[in-house]
Amino acid sequence: MNLEQIKIDNFRSVEVETIDFKPINKSNTYCLLGINESGKSSILKGISLFDGLTPSYPEDFFDDLEPVKVSLLYSVGKIHNSILRSKLTKDFDFPKEIAAKVEVKSVELSVEYEPEDSTSKEYIEKLTFKVSNLKGYQINGGKLEKISKTEEESEPIDFQEFFEEHLPKFFWTYSHDINFWESSDQYLILDEIDLSEFAKEPTKTSIPLRNCFILSGIPKDKIEAKIEKLSSPARIRNLESLLSEKVTEHINEVWPEHPIEIKFEINNNKVSLLIEDVGVKHKAKTTSQRSDGFKQFISFLLTLSTERVNQNLRKSIMLLDEPETHLHPQAQINLMKELIKLTTDLKHIVIYATHSNYMIDKVNLDRNIKVFKRKNETTKLEKISKSKSSYSEVNYTVFEIATTDYHNELYGYLEDVHPSKLNGVEKDRNWINEKSGKTESVSLPKYIRNAIHHPENNSNRAFTAAQLKKSIEMLRKLKYK
C-alpha cells in the first residue's frame, strides 16, 4: 500500500488540513517550515493521534462540539490485493475466480475521538472497490455460498459491509507505525548506561546504544547473551574494541565533515561513550562534556541513520519537532541530508518541523510545506512549488528574511518580463552616478538595485533593512498582483 495523503480534522489550531505524499527526488522526507506558534507542532501531534497520542478535551478540539479525526489514505496495489484474495479463498471459501473479482482501489484508515472527557476512540476503515458488490452469492456462517436457482434471490453482497463485519481491521496491519522523536533519555546518549538494565530492555533504555550493538553485528535479540558473557577482562576489551571500531566507521561515513573517534569503556557493569576529535590525542571527552547540540546530533545519527543502514524500522512515519535545536548551521545541514537519505528506500516517511532556514532543501524546494496561521487563529498548509519559488523567496515568505538576493531576483524578473510596471513606480529619491557625476531621480527599488550592483559607490546613503523589506514588498505586489 502506498500512502497518498494524511488528513487532520478539528485538532488544536487545525480545522481541516491535508498533506499529500509523492516522492521528492527519490526520497519520502518532507519539511514543515514555519515561525514559532504557526502550528507546526499541532500538525505533527495531529498525525501522531493515529498511533499513540490521545487528545485532551476540550483543549485539543478546534470545535469542542465536533470529533477530532486523523485519516491516512492509501492506494492499494497488486501485492495487497493478492494477499486479500488468498485470505478470502482460505477463510471464507471464496472460489478463486470469484476472489479474483475483488479489487480494492484505495483504503482510508481513520481514528476518531469524540468530543467528551473520556475521548472515546473509534477505528474506521473506508474502502473503495473496483466493483462494490457481488451478485448470486450469500454469506452463511461466515462462508461464501452460491445461491441456487430454486432459492429466492437475495440482495447482492456489499463488500464494504462484508469487510466491516468479517475483516474490520484487515488493512490496519499494513499501515505505517507512527514514531514521534523527542529529546528524552531513550533517544539521547547518556554519560553512563547500566548494562544490566540495557541488556533486559535495550530499546526502552537507549536506542542509540542498541543501534551501536547492531552496527557491530550483534542483533537486538543477542544483546543480553553478549553482555552476560562479559566475565573476563579480555571479553570486555574485545567488546569495547568492536563497538568503538564499527561505530566510529559509521559516524565518519555519514558525517565526514567532522572526523571523530568513538571509544567505548565498560567498567563496573556500566558502559560509557567517549568522543575524541581526530588529530587531538589524549583529550577524549565524555558525552556530558560535549555541547548539547553535539550530543543531540550524534544521538540522531545513531538513532536514525543506523536504522536506515540496518533496515530495522518497519514501515513507519517518523515525526521530528525542531530537531535542529542546539545544532550549529553546518550540523543542521548535515542532519537535513541524513533525514533525506533515511527515506530513499521509499519504505519510510520522515516529516520534520523547523523554523531554521538551514533545514530547507534548496535543491528540492517542493520538499517543503509552509505552515502559517490565518488571522492568527487557524493553521494552514501551503505546498511550496519548485517551479514557482526560489530559496530566497521561501526565506522571505516563511521566515520574513529580506535578502539582497531576493531583491535582485524580483527586480530582474520585472525588468525582463514587466518593465512598464517598474517604470510606473514613483521616483521619490535621487541616485548619484559617480562615473558621470549626474543625479537621477529613481524609485526605492531602483535605488536599492543600484546600491547592490555598485557597492563601490560611496556618494549615496546605504539603504536600511526596513527599506529593503519595503522595496521587496513593492516588487512582490508588482509581480503577483
Assess whether pLDDT exceeds 80 at residue 65: yes
Over the stretch 257-274, which tens digit does the pLDDT of each residue have? 678 888 999 999 999 988
Q: Measured at the alpha carbon of residue 110, what is the angle toward residues 89 and 156, in degrees to the nearest 5?
A: 40
How high is the pLDDT of residue 285?
60
Average model confidence (pLDDT) across the chain: 90
Surface-to-core class of residue 291, CB atoms within 10 Å of its CB (0-12 exposed, 13-18 middle, 19+ buried): exposed
Mean pLDDT across 466-475 = 98
Strands 104-113 and 121-129: antiparallel
Assess whether pLDDT exceeds 60 at residue 410: yes
- HSE (side-chain half, CA atoms, 13 Å) at 96: 1
Report yes or no: 400 and 50 within 8 Å, Cβ to Cβ. no
Whole-prediction pTM = 0.79
Least confident of 30-34, 59-63, 343-347, 473-477: 343-347
Over the stretch 37-64, which tens digit does the pLDDT of each residue have? 999 999 999 999 998 789 999 999 999 9
In the DSSP assignment, the letter for residue 82 is: H
Question: Residue 295: which pLDDT band, with cuts at 50, 70 and 90?
Answer: confident
How high is the pLDDT of residue 286?
58
Mean pLDDT across 328-346 = 86
Question: Residue 291: which pLDDT band, with cuts at 50, 70 and 90?
Answer: low
Assess whether pLDDT exceeds 80 at residue 458: yes
H helix count then E strand count, the chain: 17, 21
How high is the pLDDT of residue 150?
56
Higher pLDDT, 279 or 418: 418
How high is the pLDDT of residue 32?
98
Assess whether pLDDT exceeds 70 at residue 311: no
% of the chain exceeding 70 in pLDDT: 93
Assess whether pLDDT exceeds 70 at residue 309: no
Q: What percentage of the chain's residues is helix, strand, coil (to nearest 5)?
A: 40, 25, 35
Amino acid at site 21 = F
Report yes or no: 236 and 253 within 8 Å, Cβ to Cβ. no
Least confident of 4-18, 147-161, 211-225, 390-404: 147-161
Other beta carbons less than 10 A from residue 196's beta carbon: 12
Dihedrals phi, psi of 35, to nearest 5 degrees: -75, 170
Cell of 200: 533486559
- Bridge partners (DSSP) of residue 5 are 20, 73
Over the stretch 101-147, which tens digit does the pLDDT of each residue have? 899 999 999 999 999 988 789 999 999 999 888 888 888 888 888 88
How high is the pLDDT of residue 3?
97
Alpha-carbon gap, residue 331 to 359, rounded angstroms: 10
Question: Residue 190: which pLDDT band, with cuts at 50, 70 and 90?
Answer: confident
Over the stretch 191-248, which tens digit does the pLDDT of each residue have? 789 999 999 999 889 988 998 999 899 998 999 999 999 999 999 999 999 999 999 9
How high is the pLDDT of residue 137?
83
Amino acid at site 476 = R
Assess whether pLDDT exceeds 80 at residue 156: yes
